[in-house]
Copies of this chain bind each other. A is one copy, B any other.
């Protein structure tokens, strides 16, 4: 059995590992355009400020793959695949090779999307997608004082945090009216905006970057999308964090979504027999809306990679529908979400109620911190659709909501869950329980 894996990131590397675990004899080959082995892209913003060494991000080295009898061809890139003949053509420095396979796993990932900004190709403009991107950005950052980030998504804000911690003046420009709108509704995103402001990040929301001036870059001009007012900001370095496009152009005759993501099912199978896909180049089914959505998170890259590897090797592993569990920590404040936002649920035409509650992390008498939780529940059945939390211990309270969505639990039932309690840990009635009770009461009133 020959298993060929195109791409050696989190999805492809994980697929190789799980294929190896499932079939000790299979010939497994990874094609990777980069030379580093499997490393963490999500760690790049943290390596920027040196929380981890650049090379420290490498989780599985080329040697590791060698030891596990996984052949890895570094510096090579797939240029075409003949799905009928089960052959791929790969290329390095003009040299071409033909690779036969029995099973193919596509894990080619994505590349940064560059918005149509005039002057975007000058010196001082960076993306944080690869280890090489990081090395260049890190070196360049040494000589500058004013940085500007385009895009207030997770990577953008984590990079902004790092640059701020490195002592830079940091401005973030976001097209949408608030930060992290893929993760939070605008009310919750407002809490994130407050955190950024308190920590000295200048942010312009609802602004479109029109022009990058100078080469190397010296300033950026952005326009307020409401008022039309234009504003020039000094910037010696710009990081573009406006999302990615899947690297799937070379694949023809395979079902793709509207933005080019390869469609996969719960077994990581594509529309072509014997061909699997995983990671940022794929789209998969959302647990709540039932719609296909692009997979852009490491969590799903690993899980789809596991399924692709196991199933390609003849095993049996299914991935659960996409929940969109996501989390980060910005300036010491944790935040997390699971499921679609209220905005997305409404756009999908689904009936729902939502409830929001701000409460204490520990019993009031222990003087802990406040945190805010928002829960979204399906109407009329009360099934948990999503939750958003800003504040201490957000991620792990979100894991409870993730499990609730995954099992089809309702806010009625979840509101009575026996949550962990101790004066030094959490209140007897956790704010998450109270938010569920509030949603439950809204549903009962509307019956």
* Nearest chain B CB to A289 CB, angstrom units: 15
A348: Cβ under 8 A from any B Cβ: no
A419: Cβ under 8 A from any B Cβ: yes
A285: Cβ under 8 A from any B Cβ: no
A325/B40 contact (C-beta < 8 A), A396-B393, A396-B397, A399-B399 known:
no
Contact at A418–B328, with CB atoms within 8 Å? Answer: no
Q: Restricting to A28-86, which residues have a CB under 8 Å from any CB of B?
A: 40, 42-43, 46, 51-52, 56-59
Q: How far is the CA of A338 from the CA of B51 in the complex (A)?
A: 35
Q: Restricting to A397-419, which residues have a CB under 8 Å from any CB of B?
A: 397-400, 402-404, 406-409, 413-414, 416-419
Q: Contacts of A329 on B, CB cut-off 8 Å?
A: 422, 424-425
Q: How far is the CA of A42 from the CA of B421 in the complex (A)?
A: 10
A322: Cβ under 8 A from any B Cβ: yes
Q: How far is the CA of A399 from the CA of B387 in the complex (A)?
A: 15
Choose the segment among A131-139, A257-265, A292-300 that binds chain B (4+ C-beta atoms closer than 8 Å). Answer: A292-300
Contact at A428–B298, with CB atoms within 8 Å? Answer: yes
Contact at A417–B320, with CB atoms within 8 Å? Answer: yes
A421 in complex: contacting residue of B298, B320, B420, B423, CB < 8 Å: B298
A268: Cβ under 8 A from any B Cβ: no
Contact at A416–B303, with CB atoms within 8 Å? Answer: yes
A319: Cβ under 8 A from any B Cβ: yes
Contact with B along A239-264 (1 / 0, CB 8 A): 00000000000000000000000000
A424/B302 contact (C-beta < 8 A), A396-B395, A399-B399 known:
no
A318: Cβ under 8 A from any B Cβ: yes
* Nearest chain B CB to A200 CB, angstrom units: 19
Q: How far is the CA of A389 from the CA of B400 in the complex (A)?
A: 15
Contact at A422–B40, with CB atoms within 8 Å? Answer: no
Q: Contacts of A422 on B, CB cut-off 8 Å?
A: 42, 154, 326-329, 395
